């Protein structure tokens, strides 16, 4: 079993441009197009999160030139794409980059397996992640692999980002309620990650 972001999520990002708004809501999700974020490199930032929880927020930036191409591709009267091939949904490179990062974070932090006897999925911490996190403190930045870094903001908030600082996955949880990072990953899994069985 392989995990993957649901490709349909990319259509939600496209809806930002088709609606010609900076914020849209789809079901229980909210997509935003924000101005340049000084902690991220260049361009604008697209973010995705949920209304009902703040367990996770996914952010990635796009260059000003790419943003302009996407906006120019939307018909000014009909709010439809003029050239269907020029959309975030159809941008295989963008999808692959975002998907690879999110799934890599998921797999670094957690072991997610199906138990045939029990007929259920189980999630637990990856031993590598537990070992690498021994003795870390707030404000520490740790390189987890060649393109995933982790910033421990607080007991309730951890941010993962890539080397270029163009993608972030912000995970939040309430330790006072007995939650941990696995609760954030489970919500992310249920929200936008699908299973591919080969």
Q: How many CA atoms lie within 13 A of 129 on its CB side?
A: 17
pLDDT at 113: 86
Residues 6 or more apart whose Cβ sits within 8 Å of residue 185? 56, 106, 109, 110, 123, 171
Which carries the bigger pLDDT value, residue 113 or residue 4? 4
Q: How many CA atoms lie within 13 A of 78 on its CB side?
A: 5
Mean pLDDT of the chain: 89
pLDDT at 197: 52
pLDDT at 39: 60
DSSP string, 40-94: S-SSEEEEEEESS--SEEEEEEE-HHHHHHHHHTB-TTT-SBSSTTSSTTT-HHH
The CA distance from 74 to 19, in Å, is 9
Question: Do the strands 120-125 and 141-145 form a parallel or antiparallel pair, or are they unpaired?
Answer: unpaired
CA angle 118, 119, 120 (to 5 degrees): 90
- Give the global pTM: 0.90
Residue 198: pLDDT band (50, 70, 90) is very low
The CA distance from 46 to 123, in Å, is 29
Q: Is the pLDDT of residue 35 over 90?
A: no
Question: Do the strands 148-154 and 157-161 form a parallel or antiparallel pair, or are they unpaired?
Answer: antiparallel
């Amino acid at each position: 079993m392989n995990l993957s972001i649901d490709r349909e999520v990319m259509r939600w990002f496209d809806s930002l441009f088709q609606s010609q708004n900076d914020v849209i809501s789809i079901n229980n999700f909210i997509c935003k197009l924000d101005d340049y974020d000084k902690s991220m490199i260049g361009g604008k930032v697209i973010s995705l999160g949920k209304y009902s929880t703040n367990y996770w927020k996914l952010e990635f930036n796009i260059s000003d030139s790419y943003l302009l191409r996407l906006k120019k591709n939307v018909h000014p009267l009909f709010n439809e794409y003029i050239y269907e091939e020029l959309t975030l949904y159809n941008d295989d490179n963008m999808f692959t980059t975002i998907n690879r990062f999110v799934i890599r974070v998921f797999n670094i932090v957690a072991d997610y397996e199906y138990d045939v006897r029990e007929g259920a999925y189980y999630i637990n911490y990856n031993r590598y992640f537990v070992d690498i996190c021994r003795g870390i403190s707030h404000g520490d930045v740790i390189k987890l692999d060649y393109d995933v870094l982790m910033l421990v903001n607080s007991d309730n908030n951890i941010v993962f980002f890539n080397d270029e600082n163009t993608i972030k996955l912000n995970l939040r949880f309430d330790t006072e309620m007995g939650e941990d990072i696995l609760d954030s990953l489970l919500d992310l899994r249920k929200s936008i990650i699908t299973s591919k069985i080969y």
